[in-house]
Structure 1
Amino acid sequence: MTILVTGARGRVGAAVVRGLLAQGEKVRAASTDPDSLTALPDEVERTRLDLASPQNLREVLHGIQKIFLYAQPAGAARLTEAAAAAGAGHIVLLSSLAIDTDGAGTSPIAQQHLLVEDVLRASGLGWTFVRPGGFATNALQWAPDVRAGRPLRLAYPETYSEPVHESDVADVAVRALLDEAHRGATLRVTGPQSLPARRQAELVAAAAGREVLVRLISPQEYREQLTAFLPAPLADTLLDYQAARDGRPQKTSDDVQAVLGRPALSFARWAKDNADAFR
């Protein structure tokens, strides 16, 4: 069986590739820039993906039985039509737990992923939706300040999240691709604990052996900080999300345990795995 993996430059996509190879599967990694996939193992087939080109889609999907898909609303319908024509029977979508939140109707993150979910539901293909919550890798935005000894400037240091280790997302996706029991399922992936941002900073400090201080700033100051690298609508969504969870622990999902037969990896484990980024 040959499985197509899109988004293979990302942490999750690359981990999905490695997980499939470990299970003895053949992998074709697709990217708009296949020359950038240098970190993947040599046995991975690399190919260029152009969602706007029917001819390219036919070539990319030739001989493919299953697909791991990143959510790109533009071109999603063309890809699913081409996948059906090529005989691919199952798509595992990297979606988002933002769909399950109260503000999903106005969240650009939720809407982007929901649009692709709707396309897959209507496609006639088999599907599985993997909906992770906030990634633990979001803490990497703190790395420059931690390395420089600067305090973290946060508007809501007591806002709670359930940070997800990217390895859990990839492992769940691999099982969904290989195990027919998950066809038609929506798998919600969270970390094992709901933790405030301040506690996450403490765990980063412990793992990296560095002092990490937190400085409280206003929401407006934090918005200005975010819009330096995020579009304003996404910055506003993030601010609303943090305000709604300020001082409010959230429930976690048991789907990682159910799918993998082991507990989800903790944020402390993620911090140890990525400690060098903060040193």
Structure 2
Amino acid sequence: MTVKADRNNVFVAGASGATGRRVVQELRKKGFKVRAGVRDAEKARSSGLQVDNKVELGNCNLVDAAKQKGISKFVLMSSLLTNGAASEKYLRSSGLEWTVVRPGGLSNKPLAEVGNLIVGKEDTLFGRPSDPGKDISRDLVAAVLVEAVTQPGASNKVVEIVSSKDASELPPDQWFSNI
């Protein structure tokens, strides 16, 4: 899933997916106008994606389109263990301001059941049994993606995120500060 932002307008690719829908909801709560990128508009509507004057359905060739349109920020949701996949490398070399968010195993459980956020730098949180956490709530992933759009400290960073019931609560303004 990809989030591209330009001031108060945000494009979310994969908006009809389980995490993408949550990102759209979080952005709407914060007052953003959202363009929701989906493969199948009818499937998106039937999945519960609310389309109104603040959400528009559309598609584009993501990084190149962002450059062409003069988009100021590009946030990419990747995955743990990708270790700089081709799409990440292309984004990093694009000249755009970017953030890559690599979550662990995505859980539909609420935050209270999965635990608090753990943030690590690139290639540090692998989800092994000895690591501090493996799974992360999709709701929390959505919140991190939205914060990556709005926080200047998130720019040009790769962050890996998991959660654990043993982790202390980390305020959003610190999510990108130690990376």
Offset at residue 85 of structure 1 (A): 1.2
User: Which residue pairs with 1:257 in the alignment?
Assistant: 170
Structure 1 unmatched runs, 5+: 50-56, 58-77, 101-112, 139-158, 195-251, 263-279
Q: Aligned partners of 1:98, 1:193: CA distance in 2, in Å?
A: 22
Q: Distance in 1 between matches of 2:172 and 2:157?
A: 11
Partner SS state of residue 20, structure 1: helix
SS in 1 for 2:136: coil
- Matched to 1:259, the amino acid is P
Q: CA RMSD in A?
A: 2.6
Contact persistence 1:163–1:190 (CA under 8 A):
yes
Give 2:50's match in structure 1, choosing from 30, 37, 41. Answer: 41
Number of the residue aligned with 2:11: 4
Please tell me the residue identity of whatever aligns with 2:32.
E
Equivalent residue, structure 2, for 1:182: 154
Contact 1:171–1:260 (Cα < 8 Å) also in 2: no
One-letter code of the match for 1:174? V
Matches within 5 A, 1:93-172: 93-99=76-82, 114-137=85-108, 160=129, 162-172=134-144
8 Å CA contact 2:35–2:58 kept in 1: the answer is no
Please tell me the residue identity of whatever aligns with 2:103. Answer: P
Higher strand share: 2
CA distance in 2 between counterparts of 1:37 and 1:178 reads 26
Q: How many residues align?
A: 144
Q: TM-score, normalised by structure 2?
A: 0.70
Runs of 4+ residues over 4 Å off in structure 1 = none
1:210 alignment counterpart:
none
Provide the identity percentage: 29
- 2:5 alignment counterpart: none
Letter in 2 for 1:176: A
Q: 2:30 aligns with which of 12, 17, 23?
A: 23
- Please, which runs of 5 or more residues in structure 2 have no aligned partner? 1-7, 110-127
Q: 1:184 to 1:258 in 2, by over 3 A?
A: farther
Deviations 1:31-78 (A, max 9, x none): 1211222212343433242xxxxxxx3xxxxxxxxxxxxxxxxxxxx5
Q: Following the alignment from structure 1 to structure 2, what is the Cα–Cα distance between the partners of residues 193 and 99? A: 25
Task: From the superposition, tell whether residues 260 and 167 of structure 1 become closer, same or farther in structure 2 (CA, over 3 Å).
Answer: farther
CA–CA distance in 2 between the matches of 1:169 and 1:26?
A: 20
Larger helix proportion, structure 1 or 2?
1
Q: How many Å separate the matches in 1 of 2:158 and 2:71?
A: 20
